[in-house]
């Protein structure tokens, strides 16, 4: 389910922050199972620098400050990214959630990152596929937009920074853009450590 499908306007302003370059990125390894991703594979030194630079720029460009609400995946690479952002913005605490975890890549977990392409090819052909026990794009949309709905029910007029992973954020962007989740690779790709403002596209019925 896409919880943004019937939403015409959001009460808060949302920003996506893809975690900085991680030890998994450096090893060219798919790490999507929480047993590995939560305790291990945090940021590389390059990743830490990427995040610091992005947050400094976002303070100027978007006005992010100590009032920003930071919600993050509980995977180490995202959590460490959120902690850096919180320190630089002066945010007293971060909120962790499984809803922003990396997409689960099933049998491709702990395999070389070149295997992402096989999953993305399947996504385009069959949006709800779960080949090789991969989490479908529809499932990612459901959990990520359910979080947005929860935040919308809780806050108003706030800047909310969502710290997550490449596929999760790419797929969440499709909900904001009102395009099929299977088309996530057609959207502008989020680089590691990049912060992007998410804008909800006007619905066709409005």
Residue 126 in this model has a pLDDT that exceeds 90: no
The DSSP letter of residue 65 is -
Among the ranges given (88-92, 127-131, 166-170), the one the predictor scored with the smallest mean pLDDT: 127-131
Prediction pTM value: 0.96
In the chain, the percentage of residues whose pLDDT exceeds 70 is 99
pLDDT digits (tens, 9 = 90+) for 140-176: 999 999 999 999 999 999 999 999 999 999 999 999 9
pLDDT at 206: 44
Q: Which of 170, 176, 195 is nearest to 10 (CA)?
A: 176
pLDDT at 125: 87
Q: Which residues, at least 6 apart from 99, have a Cβ–Cβ distance to it below 8 Å? A: 143, 144, 146, 147
What are 97's strand-pairing partners? 73
d(CA 128, CA 41): 29
Which structural domains are found in the chain, ordered by start?
A: 13-198 (3.40.50.1240)
């Amino acid at each position: 389910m896409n919880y943004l499908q019937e939403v015409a306007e959001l009460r808060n302003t949302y920003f996506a922050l893809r975690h900085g370059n991680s030890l998994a990125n450096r090893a060219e390894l798919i790490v999507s199972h929480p047993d590995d991703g939560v305790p291990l594979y945090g940021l590389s030194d390059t990743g830490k620098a990427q995040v610091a630079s992005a947050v400094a720029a976002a303070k100027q460009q978007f006005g992010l400050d100590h009032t920003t609400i930071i919600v993050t995946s509980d995977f180490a690479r995202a959590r460490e990214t959120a902690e850096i952002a919180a320190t630089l913005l002066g945010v007293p605490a971060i909120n962790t959630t499984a809803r922003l975890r990396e997409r689960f890549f099933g049998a491709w977990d702990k395999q070389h990152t070149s295997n992402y392409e096989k999953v993305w090819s399947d996504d385009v052909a069959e949006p709800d596929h779960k080949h090789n026990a991969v989490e479908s794009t529809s499932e990612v949309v459901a959990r990520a937009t359910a979080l947005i709905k929860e935040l919308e029910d809780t806050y108003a007029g706030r800047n909310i920074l969502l710290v997550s992973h490449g596929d999760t954020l790419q797929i969440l962007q499709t909900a904001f853009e009102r395009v099929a989740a299977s088309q996530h690779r057609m959207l502008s790709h989020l680089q590691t450590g990049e912060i992007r403002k998410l804008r909800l596209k006007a619905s066709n019925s409005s």
